[in-house]
Structure 1
Amino acid sequence: MSSPPTTALRDTLGELDRRNLRRLMPLLLAAYIMSFLDRTNIGLAKERLEVDLGISAAAYGLGAGLFFLTYAASEIPSNLIMHRVGARWWITRIMLTWGVISACMAFVQGEKSFYAMRLLLGAAEAGLLPGILLYFTYWFRSGTRARAIGLLLLGASIASVLGNPLGGLLLEMDGIGGWHGWQWMFVIEGLPCVLLAFVVFKYLPDGPATAPWLTAKEAALVSEAAAREQEEGAKAAGTSSGTLLTVLRDKQMLIAIFANWTHQVALYSVVYFLPGIIGGWGHLSPFTVGLLTSLPWVTAAIGAVLVPPRATTPRRSRNFVVTGLLMMFAGLLVATVAGPVIALLGFCFTGLAFFVVQPLLFNFPGTRLAGRTLAGGLALLNTVGITGGFVGPYVMGWAEESTGNHLAGLWISVVLLALGAAAATRLRFSAKDEGTAGS
C-alpha cells in the first residue's frame, strides 16, 4: 500500500479539487437541471393529458414509468461506451437526442404514442447521471466526490423549484397558435437541451489530462490521487478486478442497491404525482399548483447543501442514509393521513432527505470498486434504482384508478422506505469496518 500523502501534497490536492469543482460543476449542473425538467414537465402535464387526450391515470402512470425501463436497460452499456470513447462526445450525444425527443413530446396523440415517446426518451437520456458519476471518479477522491454529487443532485431541486412554476405558466399558454399549453411547455423546455449540448462539446474535457486549466503535473496529481484511492479501497474490499458478477456477489453493494431502489420508488412517486395530489385539494390555477409543488424541492435543496458535506466518516455516512430514509418514511406517512396543509408539510419534510440519501449511496461504489468494475457498478446501482421510477408511478396510477384516491399508492412507498432503512443499517462505508459492529 502506498504511503499517505504529505501535508503539502494534501494542501495541493485540496486546492486542485476546489479549482476543478469551480470549472466543472456549472456546466454539469446545467446539464442535470435540463434533464430533471422533463420529470417536472410530465408531472405538471398529467391532468391536461387526461382532459385533452383521454389518457387515464393508470395509463399516465404506466407511460411515466416506461421511461425508466429503457433508461435502465441502456445505462450500463452507456457507461461502458463512455469509458471507452470519452465523456465529451458521449454526454453531448445524450443531450442532443434527449433534447429533440423531449421537445417532440408535444406531438403525442394518445396513449400509444405517449408510451412510445416515453420509451424513446428513456433510451435517449440513459447514461447522463451514471456517466457524470463515473466522470467524477476521474477527478475526485471520496470526500470531494460526495460533495460534487450533492451539488449535482441539487440541480434536481433547482429544476423543480424553478421548473414547476415556469411549467405552470407555460400551461396557461393554452390556445396560443392553436396549441395546448402542455405542447408549448414541452417544446420551450426541450430545445434548450440541444443548445447546451454544443456548449458541453466545446468546454467539457474528457478528463484531467485535457483540462486547459491544469498543468501536466497538476493533471497527473489529480488522476493519480483518485486512482490510488479507488485501487486501495477495491483491494481492501476484495474487488480490485472483476466483472459485474463481482458486484453482484458483493453483499454490501446489494444492500446499497436495495436501499437506493426503495428511495427511488418513493422519490418518483412524489415527482410524478405531487402536482395531481395538490391539484385535487381545490380549484387552483396551474401556476399555483406549480408553485406549491416546488416547496418540497426547496427543502430538498436545503438538505442537499447542508448534510452530504458533513458525511466525513464511514459511520456518519451510514447514519445519514438510515436517518434520511426514515425521514422520508415519516413525511410520507403524515402526507397520506393528514389534511392538505399538514400533508404539504409532510411532503416538505420528506423532501429534506431526497438528496441526502442519494449522493451518499452514489458515492458508495467508489469506496470499494475501481476501473471497469467501478463503471459497471455505478451504472448497476443507478440502473436497479431507476426501475423504482417505473414501479412508483405505475403503482400510484393503478392505485388512483382503483380507489379514486390520489394518495393511495403512497402506502407502498411508506413500507418500502421502512425496509430500506432497516437494510441500510448494515451498510459499511469502509471495507476495514466490515463485520465490525457499530462501525
Structure 2
Amino acid sequence: MSLIRASRTPGAATTNETPRDALGELDQRNLRRLMPLLLAAYIMSFLDRTNIGLAKERLEVDLGISAAAYGLGAGLFFLTYAISEVPSNLIMYRVGARWWITRIMLTWGVISACMAFVQGEKSFYAMRLLLGAAEAGLLPGILLYFTYWFRSETRGRAIGLLLLGASIASVVGNPLGGLLMEMDGLGGWHGWQWMFVIEGVPCLFLAFVIYRFLPDGPAKAPWLTAEEARLVQDAVTREQTEGSEAAGNGSGSGSLLTVLRDKQMLLAIFANWTHQVALYSVVYFLPGIIGGWGDLSPFTIGLLTGLPWLTAAVGAVLVPPRATTPRRSRNFVVVGLLMMFTGLIVAAVAGPVIALLGFCFTGLAFFVVQPLLFNFPATRLSGKTLAGGLALLNTIGITGGFVGPYIMGYAEDATGNHLSGLWVSVVLLALGALAATRLRFSPKS
C-alpha cells in the first residue's frame, strides 16, 4: 500500500498514513478552504431569491399586485431557472467553476438590485424571469463542483453545510429585510426598494472574491501538493466509475436519456420535486401568513419568519452526517418528508402559536431531505452524465418552486385564506415519502 506525507505544515514532523487516513485529512482541509466561499455565495443567492416574501403585502398596496399575481411572479423565477440549469452545468463542466460561478453571481446581483424598479405586474414578472435565468446553475454547479473534491461519505456533509446557508439567509435575512422595509419613505423610496438594492449589491463584491480565490479543481488548489491533488482526484474518479458501472450506466459519457431510463433516478427526482413544492410554498408565503395573525411590524414578522429556519439549521447540522449507510439515508429521506407532511397539517388547522410550531417542525426536515437526495446521483452516475444528472434532479425539483407559490396565491385569492394552499403540499409530501421508500442509495444495497 502506498504511503503519503500527512502534513505540509513547515517544521511539522513527517508521519506516514494509509491513503484512506490521508484522504480524511485532505477532505477536512478542502472543506475548510472551500466552504466559506461557497456558503457565502449560497447565502446571498437564497436571500436574493426569497426576500420578495417580505415585500408581498407592500407590493399589493404600492403597485396593486394581487396575491395570485404575486404567487405567479414568485414562481416564474423557477421556470427560467429550471430551463437554464442543465445548459449551465454543462457549460461549467467545460469552462471551469471559477469563471462560471463568478458570471452567475455578477448577473444575479445586478438583476436582484434592479427589482427595486418594478412598476407593476408585467415588470414584476419580467424581472423574476430574468433573475431566475441569471441565478440558474449556482446550486447544481456547486453540487457538481463537490464531486471534483469529495467522496460520497464527505460530500453528504458538504452538501448539508451548503444548504445550511438557506437557514442562515432566512434567520439573518428576514429580520434584516424587516428592518430595511422600515426605511419606507427615506429618499422618496419605498422600504422594499431599499431592501432589494441593499441586499443585491454585495453579490457584486463577493463575485470578485470568488474569482480570486476559488480554484477550478484540486489540481489548481494552492493548499495541495501535486501528489495530494492526484490522490483526491483518483479517489473521486474511482468511486464514481465504480458506482456508474455497478448501476449499469456505463462510463459517464452518455446523454440525459441515461438518467431518464434509470428508475431510481426518477424516484429521487419525484421525491425532490414534492419537497420543493412544500419548501417554496412556505418560503414565499410564510411572511404573509404571519402578517395575517395580527398587527405586527415588518421587523417582528421577519423575526417570526426566521424561527422555522432555526430548526432547519438544527436538522441540517445533526442529521445528514448520520446517514452513514444506504438504509439510513433512505430512512432519513422518508421520515423527513413525513415530518414536513405532519407539520404542514398542524400549521393548516391550528391557531397562530401552534401553527408556528407546526412550521418549525416542518422546517426541521427542510435540509435533512435535500442533501441526501442531492448526494444520490453520484452513487449511480459519473462524468458528463453526472453533471447533467445533478442539474436535471435540481431542475425538475426547482419547478416545484413555481408550482408551490402559484397554488398558494391562487388558493388565497379563491378562498381568502392564507393557508388553504398548504393542503396540496400535504398530499404531495405523502406521495413523495411513498416514492422514497423504494430508493436504493447504493447500486448494491
Query: Quick one: percent identity of the two aligned structures?
Result: 86
| TM-superposition CA deviations, 1:101-122 (whole Å, max 9, x none) | 0000000000000000000000
Q: Matches of 1:68 and 1:432 in 2, distance apart?
A: 35
Aligned counterpart, 1:103: 113
> What does residue range 216-365 of structure 1 map to in structure 2 within 5 Å?
216-241=226-251, 242-365=254-377
Q: Secondary structure at the match of 1:294?
A: helix
Structure 2 match to 1:383: 395
Question: Offset of 1:38 from its aligned partner?
Answer: 1.8
Deviations 1:369-405 (A, max 9, x none): 0000000000000000000000000000000000000
Runs of 4+ in 1 over 6 A off after TM superposition: none
Corresponding residue of 1:186 = 196
Alpha-carbon distance in 2 for matches of 1:355, 1:226: 24
SS state at 2:438 partner: coil
Match of 2:184 among 163, 170, 174: 174
Q: Superposition pairs for residues 62-141 of structure 1, below 5 Å?
A: 62-141=72-151
Question: In the alignment, which residue of structure 2 is the partner of 1:13?
Answer: 23
Spell out, residue by residue over 1:317-351, the C-alpha distance to the aligned partner (whole angstroms, 9 max, x if none). 00000000000000000000000000000000000
Residue 240 of structure 1: how far off its partner (Å): 2.4
> Could you say if the C-alpha distance between residues 7 and 251 of structure 1 is closer, same or farther in structure 2, counting changes exceeding 3 Å?
farther
What is the DSSP-based 3-state SS (H/G/I as helix, E as strand, rest coil) of the residue aligned with 1:432? coil
Amino acid at match of 1:45: A
Give the Cα separation in 2 of the matches to 1:299 and 1:116. Answer: 34
**AA in 2 matched with 1:59:** A
Number of aligned pairs?
Answer: 431
How far did residue 39 of structure 1 move? 3.4
Q: Which residue of 2 aligns with 1:155?
A: 165
Q: Distance in 2 between matches of 1:285 and 1:37?
A: 20
Give 1:266's aligned amino acid. Answer: A
Query: For each residue in 1:36-65, what CA deviation from the matched residue of structure 2 results, as whole angstroms up to 9, or x when unmatched?
Result: 102331000000000000000000000000
Deviates more, 1:92-101 or 1:35-44: 35-44
State the shift of 1:409 in Å. 0.3
User: How far apart are the structure 1 equivalents of 2:119 and 2:141?
Assistant: 33
Tell me how far apart the structure 2 counterparts of residues 402 and 167 of structure 1 sit (CA, whole Å). Answer: 29
CA distance in structure 1 between the aligned counterparts of 2:349 and 2:38, rounded to whole angstroms: 39
What SS does the corresponding residue of 1:205 show, helix, strand or coil? coil
Q: What corresponds to 1:212 in structure 2?
A: 222
What is the distance in 2 between the residues matched to 1:143 and 1:174?
A: 48
The one-character-per-residue Cα deviations of 1:193-248 (angstroms, maximum 9, x if unpaired) are 01100000000000000000000000000011011000000000001232100000
Specify the alignment match of 2:7 in structure 1.
Answer: none
**Please, what TM-score do these two structures have when normalized by structure 1?**
0.97
Task: Name the counterpart of 1:36.
Answer: 46
TM-score, normalisation: structure 2: 0.96
Unaligned 5+ residue runs, structure 2? 5-15
Tell me if structure 2 keeps the 8 A contact 1:326–1:421: yes
Contact 1:39 1:272 in 2 (8 A): no
Q: 1:410 aligns with which of 385, 409, 422?
A: 422
Q: Is the 8 A contact 1:40 1:163 kept in 2?
A: no
SS at match of 2:381: coil
Aligned residue in 1 for 2:11: none
Can you list the C-alpha shifts for 1:73-121, whole angstroms capped at 9, x where unaligned? 0000000000000000000000000000000000000000000000000
Query: Could you report, residue by residue, the CA deviation over 1:398-428 in whole angstroms, capped at 9, with x for unpaired residues?
Result: 0000000000000000000000000000000
Is residue 230–residue 367 contact of structure 1 (8 Å, CA) maintained in 2?
Answer: yes
2-side partners of 1:220 and 1:7: how far apart? Answer: 16
Match for residue 441 of structure 2 among 425, 429, 433: 429
- The letter for the 2-side match of 1:223 is Q
| RMSD of aligned residue pairs (Cα, Å) | 1.3
Amino acid in the other structure paired with 2:217: G
Query: Which one of the candidate residues 198, 207, 214 is aligned to 1:197?
Result: 207
Distance in 1 of aligned mates of 2:329 and 2:250? 23
Measured in 1, the distance between the counterparts of 2:84 and 2:189 equals 33
Q: Is the 8 A contact 1:39 1:271 kept in 2?
A: no
How far apart are the structure 1 equivalents of 2:219 and 2:438?
Answer: 38
Partner of 1:437 in structure 2? none
SS in 2 for 1:288: helix
Establish whether residue 52 from structure 1 lines up as the match of residue 62 from structure 2: yes
1:7 is displaced (CA, Å) by: 7.0
